[in-house]
Amino acid sequence: MTHSPHQFWVRVTFVLVGLFGAGLAISGVLVALPAPAAGGTCGPGRASEAPIVALLDPVSIGAGPEPAATDTASRAEWEAFVSECQTSADNRGLAALAILVLSMFVAFVGPMVWRRTRRSPGTSLQPMMEYEWRP
């Protein structure tokens, strides 16, 4: 069975779209998190860390030492800061995972679905016999 150049380029297009999505997903977990509303950064230094770091090591969020339980105001602010940073990392990680799965689906399953829905010329469904109606 020979494949036409059109089929080749359709497959290449699906693979390139899948690779673009994979690149987007990977960059999503490597780009630094946004600064939280409470102020500061979601990282141990002056800049926010990448979501992959926060997902793999949640303690790395630069919130400083945990305040004592008796200091309720500082503790509430600290918990809000840590929660916002971790939620941001979790959301970015889940979005990246969804994009990665979808892009791999497009790259691997897309060409198979395309091939099954497209028919070669001369293979369209036609009746084997033509019937003529006579009164």
134 located within any domain: no
44 located within any domain: yes
127 located within any domain: no
Alpha-carbon span 11 to 110, nearest angstrom: 8
Contacts of range 71-77, beta carbons closer than 8 Å, 24 or more positions apart: 77/38
Range of the domain at 34: 7-117
pLDDT (tens digit per residue) in 51-108? 888 888 777 776 667 778 888 888 888 888 888 888 888 899 999 999 999 999 998 8
Give the pTM: 0.70
pLDDT (tens digit per residue) in 24-53? 999 998 988 888 777 777 877 777 888 888
DSSP label at 58?
G
Whether the CB-CB separation of 62 and 27 falls below 8 Å is answered with no
135 located within any domain: no
58 located within any domain: yes
Give the chain's domain count. Answer: 1
16 located within any domain: yes
